Copies of this chain bind each other. A is one copy, B any other.
Amino acid sequence: MRYFMRLAYRGAPFHGWQSQPGEVTVQETLEKALSTVLRREMKIVGAGRTDTSVNARMMIAHFDVDSPLEDPQKLVRAINSLVGKDIAVYEIYEVEPDKHARFDATSRTYHYYAMSEKSPFFHQLCWKAPAGLDYDKMNEAAQLLLTTHDFTSFAKLHTDAKTNICKVTHACWHQIPGTDGWVFVITADRFLRNMVRAVVGTLVEVGRGKMSVEEFQAVIDRRDRCAAGTSMPGHALYLWEVTY
């Protein structure tokens, strides 16, 4: 039988989600804890693969066991006690045996956090934005993503992705009430590697007045990664939600 695990993690201490030889990753840390508690070698499959330093406020992963878990909440507590402070498992629940954490996800939402005032408390969690970014212009450009199909311009080169087609259903900067902070919220059926960070980096060029909205459209149309702006730092990016 198959279980889904809902969890969150801070990206900074990890070399991304996916297990890699010689690196501490979120997947490997969770697999080790799960293997210890269940006393057999366990593998998990995540809804997506976040890069080094990228956070997840909600990641879903699935794993299989031969017999039903007696007390999933007890397993949650046991894993939390083993994985350290930078990973939090919230819930483990049974799903249909063929439900797949990655392939059955219908949408993913990412948040990118920017603040313009220096903050001793949030510099590890947000990007320090320059003063005077034009968020209205950035939102004008962001709307063009809703009618874009081919995201090659925002894809990392040389990946094993078979297609660069994505369907973006939401892309907007929102001011965070009562603060000087802004969050870029983007939802799509799928994301290419590095895509959100490249999209935000290119929008920031628009916000700085270094690229017009028309030039942003031209970047999309060129289908060439070199046309886009630089990738943003990962510590301010959060996989926010996965839906099925």
Contact = CB atoms under 8 A, between A and B. Distances in A.
Contacts of A118: 80, 85, 88, 90
Interface in A1-58: 8-10, 55, 57
Contacts of A90: 117-118
A132 interface: no
A11 to B, nearest CB: 9
A125 B121 CA distance: 8
B80 A120 contact: no
Interface residues of A, number: 19
Nearest to A12: B120
Integer count of this chain's copies in the complex: 2
Contact of A119 (B8, B117, B120, B124): B8
Contacts of A80: 118
Contacts of A124: 124
A125 B125 CA distance: 12
B10 A86 contact: no
A149 interface: no
A222 interface: no
A74 interface: no
Interface in A87-145: 87-88, 90, 117-121, 123-125
Contacts of A119: 8, 88
Contact of A10 (B9, B87, B121): B121
A117 B8 CA distance: 11
Contacts of A125: 121
Contacts of A86: 120
Contacts of A10: 120-121
The 8 closest A-B pairs by CB, nearest first: A88-B118, A10-B120, A85-B123, A86-B120, A9-B120, A88-B120, A8-B120, A10-B121
Given A55-B121, A85-B118, 8 more contacts: A8-B121, A55-B120, A85-B120, A85-B123, A86-B120, A90-B117, A90-B118, A121-B125
